[in-house]
Amino acid sequence: MSEKLNQLKEILGEVSDLNHAASVLDWDQQVNMPPGGGEARGQHLATLGRISHQKSTSDEVGKLLEDLKQEFSGSDSDDGALVRVAARNFDKAIRVPAEFVAERAVVTTASFEAWVKAKRNSDFSIFLPHLEKVMELMRNYVSYFPPADHPYDVLLDDYEPGMKTVEVKEIFDEVRTQQVKLIKAIRSAKQVKADFLHKKYNEKKVWGFSETIISRFGYDFSRGRQDKAAHPFETSFSVNDVRITNRYESENPLATLFSGMHESGHAMYEQGISLAYERTPLANGVSSAVHESQSRMWENLVGRSLSFWEHFFPELKKVFPSQLEGVSAKTFYKAINKVEPSLIRVNADEATYNLHIMLRLELEIGMIEGNIDLKDLPEIWNTKMQEYVGITPPDDARGVLQDIHWSAGLFGYFPTYALGNLVSAQLWEKINKDIRGLDDQIRSGKFDSLLNWLREKVHIHGHKYDPLDLIQKVTGSKINSAAYVRYLTKKYSDIYGL
């Protein structure tokens, strides 16, 4: 290994350490920190962010990368990938002032605390002044980069490198047409029974059952944990310390099971990355869409399948005999896949979920373009919800304030949820070709073959490959809606007798 590569790895390792320390503080803010600690926490994160940014954009790093790009030009080795990814990160980071990074940490920390309070009180006006500051930061961030085909491209590229806004809109237009057609057919069919899902379920028992499921999936609790937070998320401090959070909703108690499956999908991805990539830019998921393909696969293609519940439903029924009295596994399966307009994105059924994402994309583009007055967001949100999903939120908490993302400045993230759905179905078709009898394995509560396939084809590579190249390499095609439409049509034709 060259001396210059060693020098680069040492600096990048220190940057990784600083960023993971910031992640620990962010995790603590959402899980343990008292509300009064917000201002100080913002300063902590600002300091770490500024130091990390300065280290990662130093002249020394720039010179090392220039030399190493020549040395590793065209190399497909791990070290070649490290240099390529580090160079891309450097080229983006060097455009952004360290002062901006620090300011963003302060503003988004205060914004998160305001969002929590606003959601608790269902009052958008509490969050509005903070969102205005976040949006100013987002527009400033875009201005640091060369003019793109669309300003939203700059934000999208942070989460899905290589994708353009126009490409996402084209894919979404195609998906929307197919999903609206399917939803119309479902609406004309007899609705399924699901009232038993909303009875009173003991929170501790639901939480315990969630941990039982994700342990059997393969989430390693010796290298992770599940805690409570206002909004479920996964965070990684190391391949050997990957944590998830979850929540319990009294009006939708079994949602805890599915959010646990979802976050464990993210976490198993991070736990499966090669240990050789620790403390380097390769030691994380390659993109948000690929990450979401993992979480949505475990939550939906596995966790909402009939074969899964043919195995787990008898166990669930033993834990909740009175709530599930007279309910069969098939009835339960249909209930958890019931299609109906819903207020909350994370609880939306598969047939309508992408519509929630398309709504958010439209709003984010309008906000970045400056075509939406932020004070009008609750009204615009409600109007769009009626247009897209056919239901109007009764309050801000179940409307414009339901997601944490805007408080954290995560503009450009939402589209990747729907893209992840599409990729999950593309992967699923390939998996079922490669693993004979997978459905029977799931019916027996065995997930080793599935997890091992994902580890070999996706997880272990971390960020070694570009996301679009990885998807093409594994599935044989670029991101498209065909497999997802086939999956939804088959599944709901069975459930609703279409």
Each domain of the chain, given as residue ranges in start order, spans 3-147, 165-496
| Encoded amino acid at 483, one letter | A
Nearest to 275 by CA among 285, 286, 263, 283: 283
**According to CATH, what is the number of the domain 3-147?**
1.20.58
Q: What is the mean pLDDT of residues 231-240?
A: 95
1 has pLDDT over 80: no
According to CATH, the topology of domain 165-496 is Neurolysin; domain 3 (1.10.1370)
Question: Each residue of 291-346: pLDDT tens digit?
Answer: 999 999 999 999 999 999 999 999 999 999 999 999 999 999 999 999 998 999 98
Residue 498 is predicted with a pLDDT of 86
Percentage of the chain beyond pLDDT 90 is 93
Active site residues per annotation: 263
Question: Each residue of 53-102: pLDDT tens digit?
Answer: 999 999 999 999 999 999 998 888 999 999 999 999 999 999 999 999 99
Residue 28 is predicted with a pLDDT of 96
CB 89 within 8 Å of CB 122: no
Q: What is the mean pLDDT of residues 439-460?
A: 98
d(CA 149, CA 33): 41
Question: Each residue of 26-57: pLDDT tens digit?
Answer: 999 999 999 899 889 999 999 999 999 999 99
Question: Each residue of 167-226: pLDDT tens digit?
Answer: 999 999 999 999 989 999 998 999 999 999 999 999 999 999 999 999 999 999 999 999
Residue 145 is predicted with a pLDDT of 96
Structure tokens at 476: 């044989």
